[in-house]
Amino acid sequence: MFTRKDWLGAAYAALVAFCLYSSLFAFRKAFNVAAFEGYQLAGLDYKIILVITQVAGYMASKFYGIKFIASLKRIGRGKLILTLAGAAWLSWLAFGAIPPPYNWPCLFFSGFPLGMLWGVVFSYIEGRRMTDFISAALAVSFIFGSGLAKSVASFVMQQLQVTEYWMPFVTGALFAFPLALFVYLMEKIPAPTQQDILQRTVRLPMTGSQRTGILKTYGTGLFLLVLVYSLVTILREVRDSFMADMWRDSGEVYNLTVFAKTETIISIILLLLIASMVLLKNNYKALQLTHWIMAIGFLLSLVITIAYQHSYITTFSWMLGVGLGLYLVYIPFNSILFERLIASFRIAGNVGFLIYLADSFGYLGSVTVLLSKSVFSIQLSWLNFYQELVLITGIIGLIATIASSIYFARKFRLQKSHN
């Protein structure tokens, strides 16, 4: 049973983690709300170039992070967060100072340091009995923070009359002090207790041989999970980067609060759902339940998109429903899935290695899809393109999720029979 002290400590950690990562999104996603019209490079729309360049930075960061985050020590993490965020902010300064279209490389140097931050932040909270509760708050900050960043960015352009090229730097400036404050508070979170370690295993930096051993032992299951995560990362990146464009394509009237509104509703639902997993102490049962939550997410995305294509629902309802569906898949990867996987099989290591392994291929898939639409001149609006993408990836993702559940069920029974 959890004590009052346990709940208070977890609530503190959850609130700080949520606020910290929400602040970081101001340095990452604010630019997506702008159209960046009037320029082209190599025959491609300039905003496409900017999005692909930043995603390529994330991708490079995730591949580098497989080793870097897996071997991260538990000292100096606060300074590392501020250094990485500061590097991204300076890249936005360069983006505003260098005239377009010559400023596009700045997006790579924005994406690379930002891609490291999740692993650093999650290292504060993994390996605890209350990790599900805390990580739920951290994970939904992806949704809320993205919507908040877009709404603040719209305010900066419309109310403060800042140009779209200086908007990302100014938006980051507004969040600089809150970020520093929440990093300071994050450093005050105590280390996992002995009870935490007994239930969830100790989390340590990993060597190369340990990483290789995990891949050999659980390769098929991890391949399926990486496939699922790659598909849902593609959906998330396209939705996140071109949500404003999809609203414009729909022809329906919207205002600058719509981004925060849809993402806040999704955040609350996901927070309640994922946080409640802390009550399920059996790690293996929690792992299997997480798989079924993900399967429901894919199914919801498919059903809501078919309904929208037949004009049964509005753009707002579709954007809300498809967002909830994809985040029912995406959020568990960044909160409870790998946490419970490590605890179920008593794996010596940390969550950072597994999520960066999945993340690297997820962003590789995103770059590939974005380039494919542009290079092969797929003649679909972002609204129609995204609907087709949801249908294709949703079916594949649903099958792969069920296959992963079956694989780890068999693996667990086999391991249990040998003990």
> Helix, strand or coil for residue 379?
coil
Per-residue pLDDT at 419 exceeds 70: no
Q: Which position has the higher pLDDT, 63 or 33?
A: 63
Tell me, what's the pLDDT at 193?
A: 87
Q: How many domains does the chain have?
A: 1
| CATH number, domain containing residue 397 | 1.20.1250.20
Mean pLDDT within 77-82: 96
Mean pLDDT within 160-164: 93
The pLDDT confidence band at residue 367, using thresholds 50, 70 and 90, is confident
Tell me, what's the pLDDT at 363?
A: 87
Name the average pLDDT for the chain. Answer: 90
Tell me, what's the pLDDT at 378?
A: 66
Tell me, what's the pLDDT at 183?
A: 97
Tell me, what's the pLDDT at 82?
A: 97
The pLDDT confidence band at residue 397, using thresholds 50, 70 and 90, is very high
Distance from C-alpha of 101 to C-alpha of 40, rounded to nearest angstrom:
8
Cα 39 from chain centroid? Answer: 29
Model pLDDT for residues 308-334, shown as the tens digit of each residue = 999 999 988 998 999 999 999 998 998
Give the contacts of 50 (CB within 8 A, at least 6 positions apart): 31, 36, 104, 107
Per-residue pLDDT at 137 exceeds 80: yes
216-219 contacts, C-beta under 8 A, 24 or more apart = 218/345, 218/411
The pLDDT confidence band at residue 418, using thresholds 50, 70 and 90, is confident
The pLDDT confidence band at residue 376, using thresholds 50, 70 and 90, is low
Mean pLDDT within 145-155: 87
Residue where the block lists tokens 């029979």: 417
β-strand pairing of 44-45 with 40-41? antiparallel
Model pLDDT for residues 20-54, shown as the tens digit of each residue = 999 999 998 888 888 888 888 877 889 889 988 99
Per-residue pLDDT at 149 exceeds 80: yes
Q: How many CB atoms lie within 10 A of CB 195?
A: 11
Q: Which position has the higher pLDDT, 258 or 137?
A: 137
Tell me, what's the pLDDT at 377?
A: 66
Model pLDDT for residues 299-309, shown as the tens digit of each residue = 999 999 999 99
Beta strands in 140-225 (DSSP E): none
Per-residue pLDDT at 140 exceeds 90: no
Mean pLDDT within 191-206: 85
Give one DSSP letter per residue of 223-257, joined into a string.
HHHHHHHHHHHHHHHHHHHHHHHHHHHHT----TT
Per-residue pLDDT at 375 exceeds 70: no
Distance from C-alpha of 135 to C-alpha of 132, rounded to nearest angstrom:
5
- Domain of residue 178 covers 4-418
> Helix, strand or coil for residue 9?
helix
Mean pLDDT within 180-201: 90
Which of these ranges, 4-18, 109-123, 188-202, has the smallest mean pLDDT?
188-202
Per-residue pLDDT at 145 exceeds 90: no
Highest mean pLDDT among 29-38, 187-196, 219-228: 219-228
Contact in structure between 345 and 284 (CB atoms under 8 Å): no
Which of these ranges, 105-109, 139-143, 234-238, 278-282, has the smallest mean pLDDT?
139-143
